[in-house]
Each structure stands twice: as structure tokens, then as C-alpha cells.
Amino acid sequence: MKLALFTDKYFPEVNGVSKTLRRLTSYMERYSIDGSVPSI
């Protein structure tokens, strides 16, 4: 599975979106899911 998420919010900015994306990318790395989260 490949996954791409596009956002204008990402770590180190602290808000609900960035925290959720950080948890999601950690999960993807742990389970070897190929993906990216480019910041706009």
C-alpha cells in the first residue's frame, strides 16, 4: 500500500493536525507502509 497525505500543518507546529500526522507516520514506519506527507 502507498499513501500520500498533503497538508499545510506539520511538526514542529503543535496542533491537532500535526500531532495526528506524527502518530500516523510513526504507525506507517512501524508497519512498513510506504508513504509520504509533503508539506505545502
pLDDT at position 30 is 94
**How many CA atoms, within 13 angstroms, populate the side-chain half-sphere of residue 18?**
9
Residue 37 has pLDDT above 70, yes or no: yes
pTM, full prediction? 0.65
pLDDT at position 36 is 80
Task: Report the b/e string of 18-31 with b at 16+ CB within 10 A.
Answer: beebeeebeebeee
Taking the mean position of all CA atoms in its chain, how far away is CA 23?
7
pLDDT tens-digit readout, 2-36? 888 888 876 677 888 888 888 988 998 999 988 88
pLDDT at position 11 is 67
Q: Which residue has the higher pLDDT, 39 or 25?
A: 25
